[in-house]
Amino acid sequence: MKAVASNDPYAALRYSDFRFFVSNSFLFSATIRIQEVIVGYELYKTTHDPLALGLIGLAEAIPFIITSLFGGYVADQKNKITIMHVSLVVILLGSGILYTAFQPGVYNRLAEWQHLAVIYAVFGLIGFAKGFYSPAASSLKPFLVPRTIYHNSSTWSSSFSQAGAIIGPAAAGFLYAYLGLTNTLLIVIVIFLICWVLLGMIKTRPEFPKIVTPIMESLKEGFKFVFKTRIVLYAMTLDLFSVLFGGVIALLPIFAEDILKVGPEGLGLLRAAPSIGSMLTMFAMAYFPPTHNAWRNMLVAVAGFGVFTLVFAASTSFMLSCAALFVTGVFDSVSVIIRQTILQIYPPDEMRGRVAAVNGIFVSSSNELGAFESGVMAKAFGTVPSVMMGGVLTLVVVTWVYLRSKDLFSVKLS
């Protein structure tokens, strides 16, 4: 690799393989969210049941958790690009099934329970594929840039992913309103094909000797590393519980339709607001990285996320709701950059896939499990009280971690 100054805010983007990687991340992030938003909104319009939205998250989380550890094991032995390519083909298959299932001729022949079963099965298939895709992608990223600019690559990879998370939900609402559900699903398929091409343009192919330890023992090594490395464990714990308890994304169709009454266009803006906050903050973090006083910044960020979740829950104004979600995105971006930098610095190269898989179980699956938890809590206690409880529980977890991790305030990541 050519030498690039570590204080260059665009250092990571000067490597072509990294540019292809983050371009794929942007499109993949946007497209996954477009699909989730339009299917979730259609599902809520049909059922008016918050639990139906939560079950989408559960359907995706269960196969992800089951396969993620094995996906990390495979990522530490096989070609990571090949794994991502095959996973994308499976996701494309699921998107094709959704497109077919919503065609009027098919939709009208299916009973409601049959249609729901197809939707949940497809999201289960996507969760299965992401169980392989996510560890491979996470463990590939550190090999695309020199170690001296890991913090910069974390900032830019998060920025591109969050840019996709902005454009995806915002575009979803407008595409749904003006092109319809099935045409939007067709656009989803086309963009996933572009992602497949971008991955093929990455030349870096890191591979390691075959793992000789038995598979179960090898899988345990990932957990052992996480639990003995306290900064990794607590960083994952903070993100796990903030997303599990504090996440409101799965319930936004209810806020858009029944509480704020802003329709699909408003839903797109609500979904985009936290990601706009994240992306703007991440661009700023390229110049002012949060890795100095990293642990203090991590705790403050997660606490801020919890506080503004409470503000969102109490709001009856569309503008205030968007502003509160925007600020949750600002705080979330800081914690994401610090956690990703930690995950690039601490794991040994030959164990990155398995540690990424454990992180996926802690954090990535918490988005889907959080969606299920939100649906269950909203059905049991009401939408607004459930979001309030989530914000409070997030603050409780931050306080608990702070009391147990004061020694980490001296850790330097940059």
Q: Give the tens place of pLDDT for each residue, 187-196.
A: 999 999 999 9
What's the rounded mean pLDDT across residues 287-315? 89
Q: What is the pLDDT of residue 100?
A: 93
Q: Is 60 exceeded by the pLDDT of residue 5? A: no
3 state DSSP class of 92: helix
Check if the beta carbon of residue 305 is closer than 8 Å to that of residue 239. no
Q: What is the pLDDT of residue 247?
A: 65
Check if the beta carbon of residue 328 is closer than 8 Å to that of residue 274. yes
Which spans in 141-258 are helix H?
150-179, 181-200, 215-228, 230-246, 252-254
What's the rounded mean pLDDT across residues 255-279? 83
Q: Is 80 exceeded by the pLDDT of residue 354? A: no
Q: What is the per-residue pLDDT across 32-48, written as a single tens digit (0 to 9) for each?
A: 989 988 888 888 788 87
Residue that the structure tokens 């991340």 belong to: 25
Q: Is 90 exceeded by the pLDDT of residue 225? A: no
Q: What is the pLDDT of residue 87?
A: 96
Cα 354 to chain center, whole Å?
A: 18
Single out the residue of 71, 88, 107 nearest to residue 31, CA to CA.
88
Q: What is the pLDDT of residue 264?
A: 77
Phi, psi of 2 (to 5 degrees): -75, 155
Q: What is the pLDDT of residue 6?
A: 55
Q: Is 90 exceeded by the pLDDT of residue 403? A: yes
Q: Is 70 exceeded by the pLDDT of residue 246? A: no
Check if the beta carbon of residue 279 is closer than 8 Å to that of residue 333. yes
What's the rounded mean pLDDT across residues 54-79? 81
Total count of residues recorded for the chain: 414
The single-letter DSSP state of residue 188 is H
The token duo for 213 is 């330890």
